[in-house]
Structure 1
Amino acid sequence: MDLAVFAGVVSTGLFVMSYLPMLLKAARTRDLSSYSLGNLATTNLGNLVYSVYVFSLPFGPIWLLHGFYLVASALMLLWFLRYRPTWNAPRPATDAQDGERVLDRVPSTS
């Protein structure tokens, strides 16, 4: 194995390890509120277009890394769409003065 392929294998492993906590947390909590539909859709579109380039290369670590990115970004988009609150759900009322959600207020005992 030459140095370039070895570097590709090591970097693929590092990138996968850096993504796994995000994927596991998203799968466990089903909370993807910090992600936007636009970002996830653009990421998936970019990965699909980039696939034309990656899969034209000889088989190697880049195929594995890109395959992982394809699966990870598709999962995040699917989970976002599946676990999102309904689009038209009513939002809690807010106090115009300080932006505090009315539902978060603790009733006073006085």
Structure 2
Amino acid sequence: ISYSHSQISPSMASKLLTEFKSMIQRTDERRLVPAPRLTERELEVLKLVATGMNNRDIAKELFISENTVKNHVRNILEKLQLHSRMEAVVYAMREKILEIR
């Protein structure tokens, strides 16, 4: 097996280093921004999502419509700038927004 090693020009290396530095700064800036405020209802929904409940079960548990649950989940994802229910649960646990026992 032959591996070819390609050289990076000094100007390209400089551009890469600048981009990495910029990425790190953006990540650090995001950490300084306080966690978005979720409403009490959104927190309730997020806790039930975290237990593995689907929208229908959450709706029954909270005595609200399934569409209302969907709206809450969409608002949670939007506020947290996430793409999935699982990401929201992981984020909430990491940021200690909720604790699963």
Higher relative contact order (CA 8 A, sep 6+): 1
TM-score above 0.5:
no
> What TM-score, normalized to structure 2?
0.30
> What TM-score, normalized to structure 1?
0.28
